[in-house]
Structure 1
């Protein structure tokens, strides 16, 4: 069962980008990882996002990755392509490229570093929404971009027919709830600890980094809530928190911690691999998670 707002499904994975041992893009491993994640409970995949190391992959690699995964998963699986850059013109190029390569939707982060004011930010998103036939998922993550997509700006943008969703990493449940109750936008939690709270407020689901290694466990929380088992959902959510904390709140990027657990090759500089002690702790937390058993991605 999917919530009515879940335009891309409810359990989405922010997928790591596999590289070979020498650091080159590994399309074949990307294909196998995608099929593993879908078989284990993901409804759709977000490619070339923060977890996908988009700052260090080329435009050509982004297109190749998306086309390879589309070939592997078929035409009906939602694939959302990260296309955000600090430059509106470059973002438009990536958006059109992603449409040609088979994207279902576009994940668009605010232009970072320049920190445009809200009217300029609104114009940026409207320009992108007019540029292709694909729906947009706005990515509100002020901790990384330095600029918030303010709730009032999101309310105005919701009138655009191709602005369909928000990946919410703003840590503002009040602001999110205001938009959810006043629009039809699909709100996806981008913060693991808020997956259940935001869902309970009327969110559409989550875009999860933890789902790279525990997709069934991430989905089980939302399924339990949909089944009316709120106590069970809370219990499953609590079981995920130790792993989520190690992966997302230990001072390391989620890309690093996810790749420490996966057979997907190295991270690209400036990122560095997790230390052996960190990897051991991550593996212990994953092993302790009951829902991690069964169908799951290939672990390292």
Structure 2
């Protein structure tokens, strides 16, 4: 029996990429590049694209740029993958306005980040999410990333929010797998790993999939890990996850933000990326060469399941 049979349906697909936001050399939003990258990622195995999240440099893009990005990417993927728009700020009213703008621009769902800087208590965190979800018609993923926002969405708060008809899941960057399992076991919420080292571990205990920064570079291989697990080949899934670990470590735990490393590697691969926006700085030559070496070694030595994507379907080979 497939390991996916008892899993709640993933509202946006299982394999989601936290897509970088391409910029021109001059630092302007590169909508043509975003469309080309989106098509590449979907063709490569992504079932959904998450825009304007942490990897998408949401703190330094304007509301108008965010809406334009959603429109461009939705046009490019043309229903082949879900488009989830990152919204949210430390102002509940502004967050609700961003949600409506994303809905109008053509998003399929919302990734709503915890209010940052203000450090609201849990009743205020809950009220914030309810206000955003009440004010729009799109399904909502709660974005739990306390390392950046300064505030956790406590498991008990998530359990209460699970009763909201438009709160459908969580992007989990809390590094609390016990808390995650507690919610997974008691709700139908779709839990997406937001930290690539947890992709398989969270999926194995009932997670919905992942929202991956590393997927910008290796969408097919990360997707193959989930497909192997669903097919009952847990050994192949294990080998695939472990094979990706050196690149995951370099991209996500080397002291540089994932946005910086992803853009550096995509640039080396000839894919749309462009510069990062200040206050971020680009990766240096040594870091970029290390990323490219790890990528090339992974492609050359990985002997686990691979996915070949055609225009209409994927096959595990």
Q: Same fold (TM over 0.5)?
A: yes
What stretches of structure 1 move > 2 A for 4+ residues in a row?
1-5, 290-295
Distance across 1 between alignment mates of 2:254 and 2:80: 36
Distance across 2 between alignment mates of 1:34 and 1:204: 21
* Residue 5 (structure 1) shift: 2.8
Distance across 2 between alignment mates of 1:251 and 1:293: 31
Distance across 2 between alignment mates of 1:201 and 1:283: 33
For this pair of structures, how many residues does the alignment match?
295
Partner of residue 274, structure 1: 283
Partner of residue 68, structure 1: 72
Q: TM-score, normalised by structure 1?
A: 0.96
* Residue 77 (structure 1) shift: 2.5
2:144 to 126, 140, 143: 140
For the 8 Å contact 1:5–1:185, the answer to whether it is kept is: no
For the 8 Å contact 1:5–1:203, the answer to whether it is kept is: no
* Residue 71 (structure 1) shift: 1.1
Describe the SS at the equivalent of 2:35.
helix
Q: Identify unmatched segments of 5+ residues in structure 2.
A: 310-317
Partner of residue 288, structure 1: 297
Report whether the alignment pairs 1:237 with 2:241: yes
Distance across 1 between alignment mates of 2:158 and 2:112: 13
Partner of residue 298, structure 1: none
Distance across 1 between alignment mates of 2:115 and 2:46: 29
Q: Identify unmatched segments of 5+ residues in structure 1.
A: 296-300
Partner of residue 127, structure 1: 131
1:187-229 CA distance string (max 9 Å, x none): 0000111000000010000000000010011111111111111
Distance across 2 between alignment mates of 1:226 and 1:72: 29
Give me the CA root mean square deviation. 1.4
Q: 1:190 to 1:56 in 2, by over 3 A?
A: same
1:49 to 48, 53, 60: 53
* Residue 289 (structure 1) shift: 1.4
Q: TM-score, normalised by structure 2?
A: 0.91
